[in-house]
Each structure stands twice: as structure tokens, then as C-alpha cells.
Structure 1
Amino acid sequence: MLTKEHFLISDIRVPAKRKKTLDLGKLQAIAEDMLENGQTTPIRLRTGKTGFVLIEGYHRLEALRALGEDKVEGYLVRAQLH
């Protein structure tokens, strides 16, 4: 079972492919919702060589960054060996 944790936004790397998907309208809508309701859905991360790598929640991460937050709530997904 995944446990919510808090992560420093500065420790999270966003893959280059993911950065190309940023929709400014969606980002603004999410940021406005977060101002009213806070972060309701955690992002998903995996451990990287230095820090963490974003798996899911790019717009939520960028909305928090735009709002001046330094932490984000998320789940650390651990890879399973087969």
C-alpha cells in the first residue's frame, strides 16, 4: 500500500518528454483550484539517481511551483523486480 509523503519540489526532476505536454490553461485552472481546496490528489514519483523523477502529476507539480510552494504531497512508487 502506498503512503502519502511530502517531497521538496526542488528534488523532483521532470522528464523532457513530459515537459512538452504542459497546457497553460490546465495549469491555471489547477492552481486556482489548489488556492481554494489545497492539493487533493498526490503526485507519483520514483527514485532517481539524484532525487526523484516525476511519473504522474506534472500539472499539479507546476501549479504548486507557480503558487510558490516548496513541497508537494506524493506517493513514492517502488519498482518491483520480476
Structure 2
Amino acid sequence: MLEKKSYPIEQIYVPAKRAKTLDAGKVEALAEDILENGQQVPIRIRAGKGRYVLLEGLHRLEALRALGEETVEGYLTHARLH
């Protein structure tokens, strides 16, 4: 079972392909919601080379960054071994 923890936003890398899907309006709406209700849904990340790689939750991550937060709640997912 995945364990929810806080991760430093500055250590989370957003792949360029994922960053292209960013919608500024959605980020702003999420930031307002987070101000009122807190972060409800954790993001998903995986370990990379000296950093974490974002798998899911780009808009949540960017909303928290816009609010000046330093950490984000997330689940660390381990890569599957084939």
C-alpha cells in the first residue's frame, strides 16, 4: 500500500511532455480550492536520479507552487521490474 508523505516541490522534475498539458486556468482554480480546503488528493511521483519525477498531479503541483508552498503531499510509486 502506498504511504502519503510530504515531498519538497523543488526536487520534483516535470517531464517536458507533461508540462505541455498545463492549463493556467485550471491551476488558478485549484490554487483557490487548496486555499479553502487544503490539498485533498496527493500527487504521484517516482524516484529519479537525485530527484523525483512527476507521474500524476501536474496542476496540483503547480497550484501549490503558485501559492508559495515548499512541500506537496504525494505517493512515491516504485517502478515495476520486468
- Separation in structure 2 between the aligned mates of residue 27 and residue 79 of structure 1, nearest angstrom: 28
* Residue identity (%): 66
| Structure 2 residue runs without a partner (length 5+) | none
Misfit runs of 4+, over 6 Å: none
CA distance in 2, matches of 1:81, 1:20: 28
**What is the distance in 2 between the residues matched to 1:23 and 1:13?**
18
TM-score normalised per structure 2: 0.97
Q: Distance in 2 between matches of 1:17 and 1:50?
A: 20
1:56 aligns with 2:56: yes
Deviation by residue 1:14-53 (Cα, 9 ceiling, x = unmatched): 0000111110110111000000000000000000012100
Number of paired residues? 82
Q: How many angstroms apart in 2 are the aligned matches of 1:68 and 1:43?
A: 17
